[in-house]
């Protein structure tokens, strides 16, 4: 999984493909998550590993369908990949476009797919343990944000180095808070999707989620701080 990410990052960096920005961030987060599982920081490390691998599948499937012009490409990834071909957005915008698509859309579907079949059979305590492991990821995200800025963003945009000097920890706090806040919302979205009574209702939930995520992507491109 990480090896595949790193190979793509090297290929994209060589071709100045800005999709490398998000993927580099994603690879760092994934490496730190795998290390956290190995260190026993989760109650159910086996489930977290399954989540990580299935979550990555959503990214790679979206990428593969986009690159062969497949109409089944998720709209959120179509928008993110197309934006990476344009010169105007800044690196931070490219990062957040990828994070938006992968967290606010892919992660909801991943959690619903993995927990939906068993969720009604779980006790409240068992459900809370899954939720606690999910929230533990936010801690690891916050631990990784500084590394992402230093190793990814500042390499693509020297302005970020000045932001780091002038704002101190504010930029890291803002980035960590935003991503973690999205993840909290993801859990609620996944629970709502699990409660759908049939396939038609689930598809309606998915479409609403897709539209919400696309709207967030548009807001990211308009955000004045990154211009």
Query: For 176-199, how does the pLDDT look when each residue is reduced to its tens digit (9 = 90+)?
Result: 556 666 677 889 999 999 999 999
**Cα 98 from Cα 9, distance rounded (Å):** 14
Q: Taking a C-beta distance cutoff of 8 angstroms, is the pair 48, 35 a contact? A: no
Q: What is the pLDDT of residues 41-98, one digit of tens each?
A: 999 999 999 999 999 999 999 999 999 999 999 999 999 999 988 877 777 788 889 9
The pLDDT score that the predictor gives to residue 29 is 86
Residue 118 pLDDT > 90: yes
Residues 1-41: tens digit of each pLDDT: 899 999 999 999 899 898 998 898 889 889 989 999 999 99
Percent of the chain surpassing pLDDT 70 = 81
The pLDDT score that the predictor gives to residue 175 is: 54
Q: Please, which pLDDT band fits residue 162 given cuts at 50, 70 and 90?
A: very low
Q: By residue range, what is the domain housing residue 13?
A: 2-226
Question: Is the pLDDT score of 165 beyond 50?
Answer: no
What domain count does the chain have?
Answer: 1
What is the per-residue pLDDT across 125-161, written as a single tens digit (0 to 9) for each? 999 999 999 988 877 877 777 666 655 555 554 444 4
Distance of CA 176 to the CA centre of its chain: 12
Confidence of residue 225 (pLDDT cuts 50, 70, 90): very low
* pLDDT above 50 (res 226): no
Q: Which residue has the tokens 């071909």?
A: 85
Give the model's pLDDT for residue 210.
97
In whole angstroms, how far apart are CA 82 and each of 85, 147, 204?
5, 26, 25
pLDDT score of 148: 62
> What does the DSSP assignment read for 189-217?
HHHHHHT-SSHHHHHHHHHHHHHHHHHHH
| pTM for the whole structure | 0.85
What's the pLDDT at 99? 86
Q: Does the pLDDT of residue 120 top 90, yes or no? A: yes
User: Does the pLDDT at position 100 exceed 80?
Assistant: yes
Q: What is the pLDDT of residue 180?
A: 60
What integer is the mean pLDDT of 212-220? 93
Contact 1, 56 (CB under 8 A): yes
Is the pLDDT higher at 214 or at 148? 214
């Amino acid at each position: 999984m990480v090896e595949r990410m790193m190979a793509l990052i090297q290929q994209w960096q060589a071709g100045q493909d800005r999709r490398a920005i998000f993927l580099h961030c994603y690879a760092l987060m994934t490496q730190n998550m795998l290390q956290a599982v190995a260190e026993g920081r989760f109650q159910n490390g086996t489930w977290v590993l399954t989540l990580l691998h299935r979550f990555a599948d959503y990214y790679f499937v979206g990428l593969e369908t986009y690159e062969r012009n497949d109409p089944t490409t998720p709209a959120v990834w179509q928008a993110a990949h197309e934006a990476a071909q344009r010169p105007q957005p800044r690196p931070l915008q490219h990062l957040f476009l990828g994070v938006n698509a992968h967290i606010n859309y892919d992660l909801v579907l991943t959690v619903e797919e993995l927990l939906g079949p068993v969720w009604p059979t779980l006790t409240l305590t068992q459900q809370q343990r899954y939720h606690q492991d999910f929230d533990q990821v936010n801690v690891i995200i916050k631990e990784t944000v500084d590394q992402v800025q230093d190793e990814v963003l500042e390499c693509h945009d020297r302005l970020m180095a000045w932001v780091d000097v002038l704002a101190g920890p504010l930029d890291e706090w803002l980035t960590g808070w935003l991503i973690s806040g999205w993840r909290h919302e993801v859990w609620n979205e996944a629970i709502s999707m699990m409660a759908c009574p049939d396939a038609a209702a689930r598809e309606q939930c998915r479409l609403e989620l897709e539209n919400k995520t696309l709207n967030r992507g548009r807001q990211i491109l308009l955000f004045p701080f990154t211009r």
